[in-house]
Homo-oligomer: A and B are copies of this chain.
Amino acid sequence: MRRENKLVYYKIKTFSPFHQSKLMANNQTMNAQPKFRGTEGVNRYLYDQLWKLCAGPLFDLPKIGEEVYYFPQGNIEQLVASANDNLCQLKPIFDISSRIHCNVISIKLKVETNTDEVYAKVSLLPCSPEVEITFPNDNNEQNIKYFTKVLTASDIGPHGDFILFKKDAIECLPPLDMSQLIPSQEIVAKDLHDHVWKFKHTFRGTPKRHLFTSGWKEFVKGKSLAVGDSFVFLRGENGESRVGIRKTSHQQSDMSSSVISKESMHHGFIASASNAIHTKCMFDVFYKPKSSKFIVNCDKFLDAVNMKFNTSSRFTMKFEGHDFNEIIYSGTIVKMEDFSIYWKGSEWRNLQVQWDEAATIPRPNKVSLWEIEPLIPSSNILKSVIQNNKRQREINEFGPIISKPDYNDQMVQSTKENSTTNASSSFRLFGVDLTASSKARDVLEPLESYQKNKTSEIFEEENLDQTQAVTSLTEIQRKELSFTTSSTKVHMEGVTRTVDLTVFDGYNHMIVELEKLFNIEGKLHMHSQWKLTFKDHEGDMMLEILQYREGNSHIFQIGCHKMKFENQFSKSDSEFTTIISPSDVDDKSPIRPEGNTTFLDGTTWCVARPSASQAELQRALDWACGIGRVDCSVIEKHGDCYEPDTIWSHASFAFNAYYQTNGNNRIACYFGGTATLTKINPSYGTCSYDVSKSEVSSARSLAEYKPRWMWLMCIGLLLFLYRRS
């Protein structure tokens, strides 16, 4: 009944990079399912190819039978999607190796029902010598035609005809009967869910062009496509068509579940792997193209180890640009250390790196050695060329760069000088001393003191209606700042819109209007999916907005190696280019900009990251307040605490920071927030926090009821507990 199984052992010495151009030559079996050369085989083949196109060229899918190392840390990271690094610091419940030697037993190429996000279900069996595995070999290769297109505003817009590139239409679609006045045909194509989509393909307009008309709108709606996303079309030898999509990279999908907490999922990963090792059974891992590589071919891993990367080693790493093409960035390893204290000696992201130049896509500060390649001096020139070409190309996608803008404005001029001065020095805001830059301070000073004086005036006058006061302040500012006009181009994933910055009533208003303009209501505010970056006339980009001041006209921008700032509202007759791109940068900040709220009493509240060190927070607040000493202190603790020094369970706390302009006047700036600590004790060593909307509201009422309800807890207490552990 059962056939003898033979050992078919795949030793693949060198992994060739997974280029899109090679994609179609790859006839790897995705599944230990029987294969058929008939309809089914074709279906499976087309499905696999479509899946790979949707996954993108950089996804290094393991192969069945391959020996791999599985890194649970990476799996956990995929879960939290780098939005919450606390979870990555959770102590594993088992003693488990940081890399687990496994055989790939099966790979199922899957797609999420709602989001169309592709992922692979990889079944892994912890390696044991006596196991023999055999896999069927089959060949289903066929010629397929395909194209992808990054969607433009016209493709998405209310009109919603999809414009095909001429070459794509000719290559991939059946020819039209051109004798007709308006030639047209129906294209029927299945997606990864086997859902059938129909498009009317016509050739019309002046000049004539190929379009998908009827049916396209429905597709866009059904897939929730936005500008910048990609459309994938594929046609097999047999004439069957397939369609797929690729969402803009680096969009974080919501991993949260309403059935299981993230902590439990974390335990689940480790428990599954541990259980599999001990009972010699298989376990399933879901592996997403967008996540970091946590299933790594053994040989590739060993090769990478043999590279012997060291501190100050130069390297290159591949990324996917906004146009879905490969971009290679180079950098230097600056430090080697454990990513987590609970995974001693793990190779997972144990290399801290510094990137050579700015980028419009998010890049990690810590990488794993198998993700990078050494930058050998001989190949240095070649790589640089590739890199520059790539970068140039990507920039071109964002729209034309104004070559010679007319910079009259003094503020901008100062900025420019400043950026040049600081160009070569590392100028990071948090963790590194910011105040050392006196030049930057100088530029800040004028408006800073303006703001300070106004604020002091208002709040020292105790009887003054505070609402009134704040309103007046805003009005004064608007009046003072709107004496010029500006014309600024804003780009989002290839779409360009022009706005007049002077019409906005402060930063928040600008954000709201930009959200409306690009149909991403709420998303800029959230900072989780999109953020604003700024680009000056030279094309240099500012990477991170780490903080802004409410009621102040400055937008502060921090680049990786440069710091620049612009007074948006006093810019006149000039243009700057704004790129909106997804980013997860906010989570690195000890204070969370999205939590910022200015209340009627003029206090600004923000939510802080509980794990922020006092020093970090101090610097952040110092900077955010612009001047003066920031003092984090406890007013009062609130919450429930028992088994002191060991268990903190559900302690609600808020912390309050203020800075003193002089004497004991606690004015101008309050930083508050609440958090829930599930547990802090030496054996656990971490805390989880959860700042929900309602809790932020609680903080609001703290402001309202300040005299009566100052149940605040010290962040120092947190630090105290941390130091104990």
Give A contacts to B, CB under 8 Å.
1-3, 5, 32-34, 36, 38-41, 43-44, 47, 78-79, 93, 105-106, 108, 110, 112-114, 117, 119, 121, 123, 125, 130-135, 193-194, 254-255, 257-261, 263-272, 274-275, 279-286, 288, 634, 637-644, 646-647, 649-650, 652, 674, 676, 678-679, 681, 683-684, 690, 692-695, 697-698, 700-702, 704-705, 709, 711, 714, 717
Bound-state CA distance A640–B679 (Å) is 45
Further pairs besides A1-B634, A264-B283: 9, Cβ < 8 Å: A33-B698, A108-B690, A130-B643, A261-B283, A264-B268, A264-B284, A271-B271, A281-B649, A284-B678
Q: Is the CB of A259 within 8 A of B267?
A: no
Contact present for A264 and B265 (CB under 8 Å): yes
Whether the Cβ atoms of B279 and A113 lie closer than 8 Å is no
Q: Are B255 and A257 in contact (CB under 8 A)?
A: yes
Contact across chains for B258 and A286 when beta carbons are under 8 A apart: yes
With A112-B258, A264-B271, A284-B264 already in contact, the answer to whether A701 and B36 are too (CB < 8 A) is yes
Contact A108 B692 (CB under 8 A): yes
Which one, B123, B271, B650, B693, contacts A270 given CB within 8 A?
B271
Instruction: For the complex, give the distance between the alpha carbons of A281 and B683 in Å.
Output: 10
A34 x B698 contact (CB < 8 A): yes
Give the distance in Å from the alpha carbon of A268 to the alpha carbon of B110 in the complex.
23
Among the listed B268, B692, B705, which residue makes an inter-chain contact with A271, where contact means beta carbons less than 8 Å apart? B268
| B32 and A709 form a contact (CB under 8 A) | no
A603 to chain B, nearest CB (A): 15
Task: Compute how far the CA of A38 lies from the CA of B134 in the bound complex, rounded to whole angstroms.
Answer: 70
Cross-chain contact A650 with B32 (CB below 8 angstroms):
yes
Shortest Cβ gap from A330 to chain B (Å): 32
CB neighbours of A272 from chain B (8 A): 261, 263-264, 267
Residue on B nearest A688 in the bound complex, by CB:
B284
A280 to chain B: which residues have CB within 8 Å?
Answer: 643, 646-647
Q: Taking CB as reference atom, which chain B residue is nearest A125?
A: B649
Q: Which residues of B contact A123 (CB under 8 A)?
A: 649-650, 678
Complex contact A704–B39 (CB within 8 A): yes
Check if B106 sits within 8 Å of A650, measured CB to CB. Answer: yes
A1 near B637 (CB under 8 angstroms)? Answer: yes
Of B79, B114, B132, B283, the residue contacting A263 (CB under 8 A) is B283
A106 to chain B, nearest CB (A): 5
Residue of B nearest to A128 (CB): B643
Complex Cα–Cα for A378 and B267 (A): 51
A34 to B274, CA, bound (A): 42
A684 touches B279 (CB 8 A): yes
Nearest B-chain residue to A677, judged by Cβ: B282
Q: How far is the CA of A325 from the CA of B1 in the complex (A)?
A: 57
Cα–Cα, bound, A591→B494 (Å)? 52
Would B678 and A281 count as touching, CB distance under 8 A? yes
Known contacts being A36-B705, A282-B679, is A257 close to B258, with CB within 8 Å?
Answer: no
Hey, which chain B residues are within 8 Å of A32, CB to CB?
639-640, 650, 652
A73 nearest CB across to chain B (Å): 14
Is A105's CB under 8 angstroms from B650's CB? Answer: yes
Could you tell me if B34 and A709 are in contact, using CB atoms closer than 8 angstroms?
yes
Across-interface contacts of A288 in B (CB, < 8 A): 258-259
Quick one: which of A266, A269, A684 has the most chain B CB within 10 A? A269
Q: Which residue of B lies closest to A651 (CB)?
A: B32
Contact between A265 and B275 (Cβ–Cβ < 8 Å)? no
Let me know if A40 and B695 touch, CB within 8 A.
Answer: no
19 of the cross-chain contacts (CB-CB < 8 Å) are A1-B714, A3-B637, A5-B642, A32-B650, A33-B674, A39-B704, A43-B697, A119-B258, A123-B650, A134-B640, A193-B693, A259-B288, A260-B265, A264-B269, A264-B271, A267-B275, A279-B679, A279-B681, A281-B684
Minimum CB–CB distance from A46 to chain B (whole Å) comes to 11
Give A691 Cβ to nearest chain B Cβ, in Å. Answer: 12
CB distance from A120 to the nearest CB of B (A): 10
